[in-house]
């Protein structure tokens, strides 16, 4: 099937061709016709399935008849609201709106926390048809009378499961109460918990249900390899692999913010351009790190699980699990960053003796053993005994845990409170 078969208008087909895409992904193939028919949608799709274009393209087409080049803000009321859990995803979706809508006179902007609100106010007052927002900052703007939803026709909840995990359910319910009841609703989620189903039942009307690329089913395009290594030699092995295999654009996962910072600094010492991205970084720092990574100015982006949510990097060739996650589903989410849009990718896991149980849990979830390859020169010492993986405030020693208070993996301090979760 081609995009022409989906009934998209010439301006959108031209934009799709400009991006080099010829055939729709399964979620696009199912979602675009349903949305064009005016149906509500409940979609099971995670990052990397092409879901963003799956809702952006049909919404642009449905808004196109009323598009105009007038300079008057009144001629550009908010017609579509897209809610996302993170700032990074917010920016990336709005970038997709601009990319696919480049041949249409529709306006868009994004609003999210962590940055000065005044430029966002100016953009909103100039008039936009499509608004991409994180829940907390959206409510801030509404409280300042910067928003008017009286002309709203479309609501999209993207990564709804992540929004609920991050404590946004109350904000989402507040936002739903502010919107016109007559509108088309689209909900995308990687998983369907009872809470997600309750939320969907509260505002979706007779939705079309599609389910692609289940969260616990990693893509077949990702080659997965385990490299056994001693905990104290992980960093040396990572540097060796990057150099010997001439790896470019490597997304490396650590469990903690401290560990991500330390590894990034050590890689820099090894002469490998690297930056860390996590919740303690300022928004400008995170934007710069992602831009430098996409542009090839740095080789390695070291991330925590929380910071990596919503990262959308086309054709990312390599993901490295420097430390295995405590939650096996997070492994699937990590490696799902590569092997996307029909391109092949490789996921490497550097596993020490402490992580044997974590590896077994992952293989149990995947229902298969992962291939294991010992790198010459890095044969693990069989006399080293396993130690508990415990994350404390001081972080972890190189390649392994340091005694301290246990915390939830990847968060550096547990589940965010309601105030911390507001973005």
Among the residues of 7-111, which ranges form H helices? 10-18, 26-36, 51-63, 87-100
User: What is the model's pTM?
Assistant: 0.62
Q: Is 348 in the same domain as 371?
A: yes
Question: Is residue 421 situated within a structural domain?
Answer: no
Q: Is 166 in the same domain as 308?
A: no
> Mean per-residue pLDDT for 165-185?
93
Q: Is 120 in the same domain as 189?
A: yes
Q: What's residue 218's pLDDT?
A: 55
Question: Is residue 419 situated within a structural domain?
Answer: no
Positive or negative, the CA dihedral 395, 397, 402, 407 is positive
Q: What's residue 418's pLDDT?
A: 36
Pairing label, strands 41-44, 208-211? parallel
Q: Is 132 in the same domain as 163?
A: yes
Q: Is 139 in the same domain as 250?
A: no
Domain encompassing residue 366: 222-414
Cα end-to-end distance, the chain, whole Å? 39
Output the six-digit token pair for 372: 């294991």
> Mean per-residue pLDDT for 85-106?
92
Q: Is 200 in the same domain as 253?
A: no
Q: What are the Cα distances from residue 188, in Å, to 49, 136, 172? A: 11, 19, 14
Q: Is 226 in the same domain as 193?
A: no
> Mean per-residue pLDDT for 213-217?
49
Q: Is 172 in the same domain as 250?
A: no
Select from 182, 211, 240 the last residue of a domain. 211
> Mean per-residue pLDDT for 365-383?
94
Question: Is residue 420 situated within a structural domain?
Answer: no
Q: Is 237 in the same domain as 150?
A: no
Report how many domains make up the chain. Answer: 2
Pairing label, strands 80-83, 130-133? parallel
Q: Is 354 in the same domain as 408?
A: yes
Question: Is residue 249 situated within a structural domain?
Answer: yes
CATH number of the structural domain spanning residue 94: 3.40.50.300
- Alpha-carbon span 300 to 319, nearest angstrom: 10
**Residue 18 CB neighbours (<10 A):** 12
Q: Is 132 in the same domain as 279?
A: no
Q: Is 295 in the same domain as 320?
A: yes
pLDDT in tens, 349-373: 999 999 999 999 999 888 899 999 9
Is it the case that residue 9 has pLDDT exceeding 70? Answer: yes
Residue 108: name the closest of 122, 119, 123 by CA: 123
Is it the case that residue 225 has pLDDT exceeding 60? Answer: yes
288's enclosing H/E stretch is: helix 283-295
């Amino acid at each position: 099937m081609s995009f022409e078969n989906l009934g998209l208008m010439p301006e959108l087909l031209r934009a799709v061709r400009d991006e080099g895409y010829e055939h729709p992904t399964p979620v696009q193939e199912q979602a675009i016709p349903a949305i064009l028919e005016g149906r509500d949608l409940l979609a099971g799709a995670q990052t990397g399935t092409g879901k963003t274009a799956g809702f952006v393209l049909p919404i642009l087409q449905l808004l196109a008849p009323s598009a105009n080049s007038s300079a008057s803000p009144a001629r550009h009321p908010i017609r579509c609201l897209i809610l996302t859990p993170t700032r990074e995803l917010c920016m990336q979706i709005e970038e997709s709106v601009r990319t696919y809508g480049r041949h249409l006179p529709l306006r868009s902007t994004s609003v999210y926390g962590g940055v000065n609100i005044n430029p966002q106010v100016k953009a909103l007052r100039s008039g936009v048809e499509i608004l991409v927002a994180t829940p907390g900052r959206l409510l801030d703007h509404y409280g300042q009378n910067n928003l008017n939803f009286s002309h709203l026709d479309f609501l999209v909840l993207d990564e709804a499961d992540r929004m609920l995990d991050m404590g946004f359910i109350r904000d989402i319910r507040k936002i739903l109460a502010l919107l016109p009841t007559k509108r088309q609703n689209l909900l995308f989620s990687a998983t369907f918990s009872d809470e997600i189903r309750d939320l969907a039942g509260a505002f979706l009307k007779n939705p079309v249900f599609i389910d692609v690329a289940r969260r616990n089913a990693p893509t077949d395009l990702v080659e997965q390899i385990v490299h056994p290594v001693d905990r104290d030699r992980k960093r040396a092995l990572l540097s060796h692999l990057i150099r010997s295999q001439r790896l470019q654009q490597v997304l490396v996962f650590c469990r903690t913010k401290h560990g991500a910072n330390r590894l990034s600094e050590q890689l820099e010492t090894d002469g490998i351009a690297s930056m860390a991205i996590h919740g303690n970084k300022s928004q400008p720092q995170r934007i710069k790190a992602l831009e430098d990574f996409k542009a090839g100015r740095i080789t390695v982006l070291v991330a925590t699980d929380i910071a990596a949510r919503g990262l959308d990097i086309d054709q990312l060739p390599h993901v490295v699990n420097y430390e295995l996650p405590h939650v096996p589903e997070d492994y699937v989410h990590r490696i799902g960053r590569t092997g996307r849009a029909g391109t092949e990718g490789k996921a490497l896991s550097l596993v020490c003796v402490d992580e044997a149980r974590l590896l077994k849990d992952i293989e149990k979830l995947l229902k298969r053993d992962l291939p294991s390859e010992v790198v010459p020169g890095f044969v693990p010492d069989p006399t080293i005994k396993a130690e508990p993986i415990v994350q404390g405030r001081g972080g972890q020693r190189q390649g392994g845990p340091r005694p301290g208070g246990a915390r939830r993996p990847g968060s550096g301090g547990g589940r965010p409170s309601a105030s911390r979760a507001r973005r």
